[in-house]
């Protein structure tokens, strides 16, 4: 199959809900439009922070359809599931609708190199060897550790392997290793987009990452930082990044992080409500005030935070 590129910012889209938990379709439209205007290069829907496991199959398909209607960029759909049957079913439906590829996270029971490699082989067979897939390497959440060599084996075994969503922690040397292999020809082109709420975006791009695949509440900032860094404007990139770092860190908290993200996106007018489905928690008034304070501080440097 033909190589597909990936670079810049593939934003992880949250799933907007109405206060009663129903899917908020008009917010999906507004959010998609916002992403495009922000200059993203792609959109990933139904990732972990898209609250994917909280949706039924029908809802998942509906969300993808809605985003696809407004998007002019590649769409990646998270299809991770406890079994291959559900993974295949969702993949088939969203690829038929026009998605570009899917993202697959490893189940948290995998413990050996071979078992990880085998899992991706079987997953690729299950969804179809022609469906581009993204490796999600997020040990903090999935408890599965992939060495660079394991990632290379997966990418080599599967021509349909598209790019790496890199969110190992620490992960800088992993990027350096993979990019060195890409350079010396021992690894075919493997785009690396980083996640982990962009906590290390500044240095990750300098290490060779091709961009970001994460959902920080200011994806427009991510676009700028990647652009500045790729343009060699190192200090400018760090200045902008550092202004956001206190909020990035705050949003990266497991659990409340997703509520922070939705709260800021609501304040920015991107989505209408900051509702999470259960078992998602809402922010305490104190936490909201802390986020407001952080936004006010960001606004001193980045006017987009003035809301």
Q: Is 149 in the site for its own copies (CB under 8 A)?
A: yes
* Residue choice 18, 36, 73, 89 for contact with its own copies (CB under 8 A): 89
Write out the E strands in 112-238.
133-137, 161-166, 192-194, 211-212
Q: For residues 141 and 79, what is the distance between their CA atoms, to the nearest angstrom? A: 16
**What is the distance between the terminal CA atoms of the chain, rounded to a whole angstrom?**
46
Q: What is the DSSP letter of 35?
A: H
> Which tokens sit at 195?
């996640």
81 binds its own copies (CB under 8 A): yes
> Between residues 46 and 67, which has the closer beta carbon with respect to its own copies?
46
The verdict on 285 binding its own copies (CB under 8 A) reads: no
Beta pairing, strands 8-12 & 211-212: parallel
Binding to its own copies by residue 245, rule CB under 8 A?
Answer: yes
Cβ at position 42, least distance to its own copies in Å: 25
Q: In the bound complex, what is the minimum distance in angstroms from residue 244's beta carbon to its own copies?
A: 11
* CB of 64 closer than 8 Å to CB of 99: yes
* Residues in region 252-281 near its own copies by CB under 8 A: 253-257, 277-279
SS3 9: strand
- Interface with its own copies, residue 25, by CB under 8 A: no
Looking at the Cβ atoms of 5 and 173, the one nearer to its own copies is: 173
108: phi then psi, degrees, rounded to nearest 5: -75, 15
Q: Considering beta carbons, is residue 29 or 239 the nearer one to its own copies?
A: 239
Asked whether position 160 contacts its own copies by CB under 8 A, the answer is: no
- Given 290, 292, 299, 304, the residue binding its own copies (CB under 8 A): 290
User: How many Cα atoms occupy the beta-carbon half-sphere of 262 within 13 Å?
Assistant: 27
Contact pick of 45, 71, 150, 154 for its own copies (by CB under 8 A): 150
Q: Least separation, in Å, of the C-beta of 193 and its own copies?
A: 20
CB 4, min distance to its own copies, A: 26
Burial of 227 (0-12, 13-18, 19+ CB in 10 A): middle
Going by the DSSP 8-state scheme, the letter that residue 46 receives in this structure is: S
Tokens representing residue 138 in the block = 């997020």
Residues 93-132 interacting with its own copies (rule: CB under 8 A): 108, 111-115, 118-119, 122, 126
Identify which of 112, 260, 137 has the alpha carbon closest to the alpha carbon of residue 209. 137
Residues that bind its own copies (CB under 8 A): 51-57, 59, 81-86, 88-89, 108, 111-115, 118-119, 122, 126, 139, 143-147, 149-150, 169-170, 172-173, 176, 199-200, 202-203, 206-207, 238, 242, 245-246, 249-250, 253-257, 277-279, 284, 286-287, 290, 297
């Amino acid at each position: 199959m033909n190589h597909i590129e990936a670079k810049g910012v593939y934003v992880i889209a949250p799933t907007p809900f109405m206060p009663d938990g129903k899917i908020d379709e008009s917010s999906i439209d507004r959010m998609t439009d916002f992403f495009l205007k922000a200059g993203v290069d792609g959109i990933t829907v139904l990732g972990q922070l898209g609250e994917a496991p909280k949706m039924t199959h029908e809802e998942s398909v509906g969300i993808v359809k809605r985003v696809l209607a407004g998007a002019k960029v590649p769409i990646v759909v998270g299809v991770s599931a406890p079994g291959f049957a559900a993974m295949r079913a969702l993949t088939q439906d969203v690829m038929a609708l026009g998605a570009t590829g899917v993202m697959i996270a490893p189940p948290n029971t995998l413990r050996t190199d071979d078992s990880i490699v085998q899992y991706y082989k079987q997953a690729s067979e299950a969804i179809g060897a022609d469906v581009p897939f993204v490796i999600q390497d997020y040990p903090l959440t999935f408890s599965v550790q992939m060495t660079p060599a394991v990632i290379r084996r997966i990418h080599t075994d599967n021509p349909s392997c598209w790019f790496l969503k890199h969110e190992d922690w620490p992960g800088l040397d992993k990027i350096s290793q993979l990019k060195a292999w890409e350079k010396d020809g021992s690894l075919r082109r493997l785009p690396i987009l980083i996640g982990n709420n962009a906590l290390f975006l500044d240095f990750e791009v300098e290490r060779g990452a091709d961009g970001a695949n994460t959902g920080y509440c200011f994806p427009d900032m991510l676009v700028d930082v990647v652009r500045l860094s790729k343009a060699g404007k190192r200090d400018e990139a760090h200045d902008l990044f550092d202004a956001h770092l206190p909020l990035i860190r705050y949003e990266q908290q497991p659990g409340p992080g997703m509520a922070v993200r939705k709260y800021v996106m609501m304040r920015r007018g991107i989505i209408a409500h900051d509702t999470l489905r259960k078992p998602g928690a809402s922010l305490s008034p104190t936490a909201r005030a802390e986020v407001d304070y952080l936004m006010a501080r960001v606004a001193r440097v980045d006017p987009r935070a003035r809301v």
